[in-house]
Amino acid sequence: MALQGSLADIALPDVIQLVSVSGKTGVFTLSGDGADGKIFIKGGQITDAVAGKLGGEYAVYEMAGWHKGQFIFTAGIESERVTVNKSNTSLMMEAARRLDEWRVLQRKIASMDLVPYFLPREPGQDQITLSPQEWSIVTKIDGQLSIAKLEDVTGLPAFDVCKVLYGLVASGLIALRSTTEEKPPQAAPVAPSQRSLLALAENMRKLADESVGLSGSIAVEKQYRVARAEIEAGGGMTSIQSLVDRLARAISLLEGGDRAGEFLRKVTPLLP
């Protein structure tokens, strides 16, 4: 008999703990508020998960926060993939931490339907240094896309998008409005500081290194150093675009077109 019930009556982490102790193999099929997901378990350990566009551990974190909907556990079904390598305990602890942090985020972000927009900045204000993930979100803010739409266009989990927006609101860089409010004037997007561009170039280098391994690291390092010099000379985002093109060509020569395409799919969300 399949194990099934309501997420309103018993939280998903508690159900997973029950199945883990018994060492069962099977799949949880969940339905939340307009969303569905699956968590595969083998020998009591989570091995794979998917929830909408999310996969792996991020899908687990997403579903662990569902408080409405149904679940059913079907024994004997395994996934052909392994996308989760953390222990169940680590996953559930991180899920709990994210839920606690989510409650803090909701103090400024009450709805995913809110629309972020840039606030005017006084001349001479300090430049903002952004991480690659922050930059990937900032470049998509146009005063029209809601937070939910930003989640779609960036491909990032809602938690990560809201965490970045929370910091941007707190720093006075952006504000949030409801879709019913009159659209305020949209200030010009923030120009990336040299420090942000260097951090972005470093991120590109790491992604390229993952694609070529040790055998191609010298070629990657060479292109990175060229880009770094261009950025320090004031090359701006053009230097980043050129770096991506050169790295893609190098990866294609070393590892083939498929690996180069995989690299481009990873870096594209980080670019404006």
What is the predicted pLDDT for the residue at 45? Answer: 93
Q: Which residues of the chain have pLDDT under 50?
A: 1
The strand order across the sheet containing 45-51 reads: 3-6, 70-75, 26-31, 36-42, 45-51, 54-55
pTM for this predicted structure: 0.61
Are 203 and 270 in contact, with CB atoms under 8 Å apart? yes
The 3-state DSSP class for residue 256 equals coil
Domains, in order of start, for the chain = 3-104 (no CATH), 115-177 (1.10.10), 194-270 (no CATH)
Rounded to 10 degrees, what is the CA torsion of 44, 63, 55, 19? 10
pLDDT at residue 186, as a whole number: 60
Q: List the one residue out of 264, 241, 266, 272 whose CA is nearest residue 140.
A: 272
Cα 238-207-256 angle, rounded to 5 deg:
95
Burial class (CB in 10 A: 0-12, 13-18, 19+), 34: exposed
- What does the buried/exposed string (b/e) look like for 147-158 if buried means 16 or more CB atoms within 10 Å of the residue's CB? beebbeebebbb
pLDDT at position 128: 61
Residue 61 and residue 94 in contact, taking contact as beta carbons nearer than 8 Å: yes
Coil, strand or helix: which one is 51?
strand
Confidence at residue 60, expressed as pLDDT on a 0 to 100 scale: 92
Q: pLDDT digits over 34-52, tens only? A: 778 999 999 999 999 998 8
